[in-house]
Amino acid sequence: MNLVVSAIGQGLLFGILGIALFLTFRILDFPDMTVEGTFPFGAAVAVSAITHGINPVVATLLATGAGMLAGLVTGLLTTKGKIPVLLAGILVMTCLFSINLKVMGRANLSLLNLPNIFKSKLLASLPQYFDTVVAGMIVIIVVVVLLILFLNTRMGQAFIAAGDNPQMAKSLGINPDNQKILGLVISNGLVGLAGGLIAQSNGYADLNMGIGVIVIGLAAIIIGEVAFGDLSLSQRIVAVVMGSIIYRFIILIVLALGMDTNDLKLISAIILAIVIMVPTFEKKFKLRRTLRNGVVKHD
């Protein structure tokens, strides 16, 4: 039971990461590698702030702001500096590795015997692992509601249009570069938030905790799309969160079958590859079934 509750809690927290990647990978249609640097950046800022006596809520907000700053740098490099977005993200991610080390002062920083969001009076009174579920649910609801409200504003519609068809957006007086910067700032802000929360949940920040998080976020997006099919934009955002939870259960099942925890990154990559191929296999299956029915009718 505890493992199930823990999987749901982790799924909700990583769902924030999935939503962030949904904005760049699906709406703006470009890969943002900054994420693998922003995630530990948010964790490093939050944990370092707490160790210096700053309130955990404020520390979490600082982590979000740190992520937004990283996204802004990537956005300026790719729009004003004309550096391809993939390369711009890699450059910022590389810089953040050194910055994270300076922020923490070491490769790993612990929150042992220090306060954090999950040790607040309300959450500390809950049964084991339920604190993560409740906190994750609260944050997810706030993030999803605010994001849906934003996407239904004029600016949000311009944001969607710029990602859907940049040339048409230009003809409507929308600046795609500004929308790209906006998307990177919001997305990486959410990644920083996820990093700060997950670091507090785990009780530490680590320099290498960002390795592979982009795979986790993409898995949440694709599993949500495959599992729930055609949905509206607002429903797809919710589906990403559900996909993140499903992904954690898949990992839980795989580990329960006896797989080595050291192979977790490998397992994640394999799961993502399989999920990506599911629609292709499904189309092939339907095609073969159609051909088979056609042959039968012809006979």
Upper half-sphere CA count for residue 13 (Cβ side, 13 Å):
28
- pTM of the entire predicted model: 0.90
Task: Look at 288 and 125; give whichever has higher pLDDT.
Answer: 125
Length of the chain (residues): 299
Ordered by start, the domain boundaries in the chain are 2-267
Q: How confident is the model at residue 205 (pLDDT cuts 50, 70, 90)?
A: very high
Pick the residue with more confidence: 41 or 168?
41
Categorize the per-residue pLDDT at 288 as very low, low, confident or very high, splitting at 50, 70 and 90. Answer: very low
Residue 213: pLDDT over 60: yes
Q: Which residues contact 140 (CB under 8 A, 6 or more apart)?
A: 12, 15, 16, 241
Q: How confident is the model at residue 203, as a pLDDT?
A: 93
The predicted structure's pLDDT at residue 125: 82
- For residue 287, pLDDT beyond 60: no
What is the mean pLDDT of the segment spanning 254-283?
77
More confident residue, 263 or 38: 38
Instruction: Return the number of other C-beta atoms located less than 10 Å from residue 136's C-beta.
Output: 25
pLDDT in tens, 152-165: 999 999 999 998 88
Report residue 294's pLDDT band, with 50, 70 and 90 as the boundaries. Answer: low
Task: Calculate what percentage of the chain has a pLDDT beyond 90.
Answer: 62
Give the pLDDT band (50/70/90) at residue 295.
very low
Question: What is the phi/psi pair of residue 205, to 5°?
Answer: -120, 140
What is the dotted CATH code of the domain comprising 2-267? 1.10.3470
How far is 25 from 207, CA to CA, in rounded Å? 25
Two tokens, residue 171: 């003809």
User: What is the reported pLDDT for 193?
Assistant: 97
